[in-house]
Amino acid sequence: MNTMLKWKWPIIAAWIVVTVALLIIMPDIGQLVRDKGQIGVPEGYSSSEASRLLKAMGDESEDERQMSVILVFGAKEKLTADQMAGIEQGLAGLESEKSKLGLASLQTHVNFPEAKDQLLSADGTTVMAIASVETEGRTKDEIRDSLSAALEGVSVPHYLTGPALINEDFTKTTQEGVKKTELVAVLFIVVVLILIFRSPITPLISLLTVALSFLVSLGIVTQLVDKVDFPFSGFTQIFLVLVLFGIGTDYNILLFMRFKEELARTGSRVEAIIRTYKTAGKTVLYSGAAVLIGFCALGLAEFQLFKSASAVGIGVGVLLVSLFTFLPVVMGLLGRFSFWPAKASGEHRENRLLSGITGFAVKRPYWSIVITLAIAVPIAAFYSSQLNYNSLDEVDDSYTSVQGIHAIYEHYSAGQAMPATLVMTTDEKMDDAGNLAFIDKVTEQLTRVDGVDKVYSATRPKGEKIAELYTSNQSGKLSEGIAQANEGIGTIKDGLAKAADQVAAVPSGDFDKAAELVEGTKKVQAGVDQAIAALNRIATGIGQGTAGAGELKKGIADLRGGLATLSEKTGTLATGLGTISGGYDALLAQFKTVQQSAESLAAAAQAMNASVAKLEQSEAGAGLADNADFAAIKSASAALAEQLAKLSAGLETLNGQLASANATLAQAAQGLKQVQAGQAQLEQGAEQLETGASSLQDGLSEAGAGQKAVVGELPALADGLESIEAGQIKLNEGLESLSASLPELQTGLTDSVNGLQKVSDGLASTTDYLDEIAGTSGADGADGANSADGADSAGGANGSGDASDVSGQGATNAADTFFIPEEVRTGAEFAQSLDLYESEDRHTAKWSIVLSDDPYSTAAMDTIARVHKVYERLAEESGFANAEYGIGGVSSQNLDLEEVSSGDFTRTAAIMLIGILLVLIVISRALWLPVAVIGSLVLAYYTALTGTEWIFGAFTTHGELAWTIPFFSFIMIVALGVDYSIFLIMRYQEYGELAPRRAIHEAMKHTGGIILSAAIILSGTFAAMYPSAVLTLVQMATVVILALMLLAFLFLPLFLPAVVAALNRSKAA
């Protein structure tokens, strides 16, 4: 110490130079927090694995050069058409300025209509858009400002939010809280020190010493962070402020109190300083060592946020150096002036309250222990350990990022804005049919998990089943197709049956009338021959008719008789020809009907052959080729089609001949009509001949001419009748052949009808089976959600899970199995879904999971835990147990934070307590007293946690403690609280000549005021965090303050003296 005092000016100069140098080269702390102080999960945990896999997959959300921004437009009432137009115009402006704004992508309801349901709220009051922004060379605030400026023309209230902006605003909130805390803490310490020492000089010296320590330690820490990536966070600076100003002031109080006391005793500055540091300095060194061990133990933590608090260890080390170098030099320079205007006096006042409590403890040690435990243990037992992982509670509501996310929570599904992402990678390609079925199975099972709202994947890009890709729908369509084929077969069968009936209904006797027709035609031909002969005779008579009027009259009479006979015969012939023509018309109509039926049958047979071929080629007809019955039906159907085609061709030929014959008969009938007309003229002429001889010659001449004409036509009539006769003979032969074939045709048609009935019955049976499959799919799917098997399988492949973990984990019914046809799987449309949810090489697949709860809530964390169980079970069942996978997103990260923080807490707390216990054993040279000290610290910690839960539950909306509180408050309480125990123990050891009970009482008399002052100062320092409005800092301040008060008024004055008294009960008082 003498050396220090001799080198006083170099020491002061060294501190000033080092401080100024570190301040000059100190990097921007805010930027350090943004670049290296963000909270992240260590490698190996699910969320960090998901981030790694997504980054390898090329996911934009994991690209460090890009950040996701959610644009939220909202009004209190439903958006009007004009407001929607304004929003869409603003989004179009962003789209048009993508390069200028650095937008990598912009997803809106306009350019992504398939996402319209996700981007527009159901109540019509809110519109959401998602942008991915390039971050290179720009801060988050610059990006936010540029987007806000681009949307300035949109009148609808709008907000920019997203994880990156929320973290940025959290950083701002923390930094602003640090500034407020620093100012309030300094003012409070100055006021308290002035009240304690009644001097402005002592507080200034204390603040100067602590400030130098803080600035130097902050400079060292920031350099380490900047150069070697030393653990750092937004809380590092504020922890340095709290601890260094808190314990630094405590240590200054202890040293100055002892220095004041020693000055009164010796009057020598140097001697007073030496004695101060031999006694109080030793206490400070041991206390500082305990705190140093406590914070250095944080370096063993796995989580960077916890490790970042190890920087306080550097600060404590620097503080101890300043207390043992700079402070004694200042004491030596100022001496008694350090306490100006007060005078250095001897003993400081005894705190009667604490002294009285200790007096009771040493007299009634067991009662004191019981009272302490009765107060603390029941309260500590009520600690719920329910923690809050919602980082939004840490950010002031005035920030637009918080307002935007709250708007999303209010108008959308809670997890819509920040879904979780399950991602897996394997050596297999995930786009083949089997692995796509696994993807869909995972999607379906995750959809049934309690707390999951919707799941998007390669097989469900819109979050809904694509019905055409499931066997229930496919079997339904196949059933429908088979039913249509069956209906067609029924039509064919009915047509064939009708044809068979028509063939059977044709009277075979009608075919004999053709022969009668031939005979009648012969008779007509004979009559025509007779008419020709008669006409020839008439011609002869007319040629010879000059014999006289008598002979002329007789000839005319004969002529009239012949003409009457001829007219009668001609009428008979005309009647016969009319009958023949009518018969031909009826016959022709019947044959045309038969031809049409035959053609219909041929077409139906061809359709039946096509249906049979299609059935054989379809998936449903797989295996029919080997069926004997099916082969027989197929052969019969082909033969039938061939016979019907031949029949149709024959009937067509026959109908042509009948039509030709009928035309000839029509010509004959026309000729007979002309004959009848001529005969009428002859009769009229004969009558005229009978009226007068004068016109005889003219009449004969006209009759001769008419007769020549008649005779000239009659050969043609005879030739026509010969042709009719020949055609009728052929017709008769064809009808005889047809009559012989009709029974065989009828038998074939009947057999075809029977065969088609069997085919129809088989198809109907197949349809019933497919309908049964499709029908049971829906029923089983509904029942599966409540099946016992489903509940039992929730816990994993071994079925040991809790049935309440997952709702509806029943196996998917085989009839509702995912099956993707090859043409769909390799199609361009499905490729878009694969590109969105699988990596380019198709070895990595992801699922986007929208949760029902707030992603920051513990309920969402529980949901993610259930998702882990379901996926691991399915992966085990499907052979993907060794595939790498992870779940990303806020909820998964918080679940990992819970795991890593609890593991770090247990490990670090054990190391810290063991280290401090060893220090206490060395100091006290005892075992049970250090154990009692550790016990009092732990009990004070849990009691304070419970008290803080009660306070915040009763007076705020935050009934749960922030997740960092248990860890950080434990470190603070143990590391700082042990100081006061060391103060008491060190003073207790100074009275070694006294009995233990009296020694501990005397120690409390002399240190009680110091301990209380130190506790008040440290409590006030932590209370300076209240104006920061950062929930974590406010809660931690409350826990630490409650613990310090418990230590100051209960454990130190009552419990520890009682333990000393109880352990030394047999020794004299």
List pLDDT tens digits, range 492-533.
667 666 766 665 665 655 556 556 666 666 666 676 677 667
Looking at residue 551, what is its pLDDT? Answer: 63
Looking at residue 767, what is its pLDDT? Answer: 62
Q: Which helix (H) or strand (E) holds 977?
A: helix 965-990
Looking at residue 790, what is its pLDDT? Answer: 37
| Token pair for 412 | 């959308």
Which single residue is written with the structure tokens 């049935």?
803
Round to whole Å and give the CA distance between 120 and 131. Answer: 15
Beta strands in 238-304 (DSSP E): none
Looking at residue 660, what is its pLDDT? Answer: 74
Q: Taking residues 273-287, what's their average pLDDT?
A: 88
Given pLDDT bands bounded at 50, 70 and 90, which one contains residue 997? confident
Round to whole Å and give the CA distance between 286 and 281. Answer: 9
User: 575-579, 606-610, 660-664, 785-789 — which is least confidently predicted?
Assistant: 785-789
Whether the predicted pLDDT of 653 surpasses 90: no
For 714, how many CA atoms within 13 A lie in the half-sphere containing its CB?
A: 24
List, for residues 186-242, the tens digit of each pLDDT value.
888 888 878 877 888 888 898 899 999 999 999 999 999 989 889 888 778 888 888
Round to whole Å and give the CA distance between 135 and 42. Answer: 24
Q: Is the model more confident about 1068 or about 928?
A: 928
Which of 462, 432, 543 is closest to 843 using CA atoms?
432
Round to whole Å and give the CA distance between 57 and 51. Answer: 10
Whether the predicted pLDDT of 779 surpasses 60: no
Q: Taking residues 88-106, what's their average pLDDT?
A: 90
Whether the predicted pLDDT of 806 surpasses 50: no
Pick from 41-45, 149-153, 622-626, 1004-1008 the range whose average pLDDT is largest: 149-153
DSSP annotation of 1052 reads: I
Round to whole Å and give the CA distance between 265 and 282. Answer: 19
Can you give the length of the chain in residues?
A: 1069
Q: Is the model more confident about 908 or about 314?
A: 314
User: 91-105, 634-648, 917-931, 1018-1032 — which is least confidently predicted?
Assistant: 634-648
List, for residues 132-148, the tens digit of each pLDDT value.
898 877 888 889 999 99
CA distances from 485 to 480, 489, 670, 1068 (A): 9, 6, 54, 112
Average per-residue pLDDT in the chain? Answer: 79
Pick from 250-264, 556-570, 921-935, 1037-1051 the range whose average pLDDT is largest: 1037-1051
Q: Is the model more confident about 615 or about 848?
A: 848
**How much of the chain, in percent, has pLDDT values that exceed 90?**
23
Whether the predicted pLDDT of 55 surpasses 90: no
Given pLDDT bands bounded at 50, 70 and 90, which one contains residue 793? very low
Looking at residue 659, what is its pLDDT? Answer: 74
Task: Kindly write down the DSSP assignment for every residue of 655-685, as one continuous string.
Answer: HHHHHHHHHHHHHHHHHHHHHHHHHHHHHHH
| Token pair for 810 | 């029943």
> Is the CB of residue 706 less than 8 Å from the CB of residue 643?
no
Looking at residue 755, what is its pLDDT? Answer: 65
> Is the CB of residue 943 less than 8 Å from the CB of residue 380?
yes
Given pLDDT bands bounded at 50, 70 and 90, which one contains residue 814? very low
List, for residues 427-439, the tens digit of each pLDDT value.
999 988 889 999 9
Whether the predicted pLDDT of 546 surpasses 60: no
Whether the predicted pLDDT of 651 surpasses 60: yes
Given pLDDT bands bounded at 50, 70 and 90, which one contains residue 650? confident
Round to whole Å and give the CA distance between 545 and 538. Answer: 10
Q: Taking residues 1009-1025, what's their average pLDDT?
A: 85
Domain boundaries, the chain: 2-25+171-393+897-1063, 60-156, 419-470+788-888, 474-782
CA distances from 590 to 431, 510, 658, 824 (A): 64, 11, 11, 54
| Token pair for 363 | 């007299």
Round to whole Å and give the CA distance between 927 and 930. Answer: 6
- Which pTM value belongs to this model? 0.66
Looking at residue 541, what is its pLDDT? Answer: 62
CATH number for the domain whose boundaries are 2-25+171-393+897-1063: 1.20.1640.10
Q: Is 994 left (phi over 0), alpha (psi -120 to 50) or beta?
A: beta
Q: Taking residues 345-372, what's their average pLDDT?
A: 83
DSSP annotation of 412 reads: S
Determine whether domain 60-156 maps to CATH 3.30.1360. Answer: yes
> Is the CB of residue 1054 less than 8 Å from the CB of residue 359?
no
> Residue 1054's CB: how many other CB atoms inside 10 A?
24
Q: Taking residues 708-736, what's their average pLDDT?
A: 67
**How much of the chain, in percent, has pLDDT values that exceed 70?**
74
Judged on CB neighbours under 10 Å (0-12, 13-18, 19+), 88 is middle
Given pLDDT bands bounded at 50, 70 and 90, which one contains residue 14? very high
List, for residues 680-698, the tens digit of each pLDDT value.
776 676 666 566 655 555 6
Judged on CB neighbours under 10 Å (0-12, 13-18, 19+), 958 is middle
Q: Taking residues 46-59, what's their average pLDDT?
A: 86
Round to whole Å and give the CA distance between 309 and 239. Answer: 7
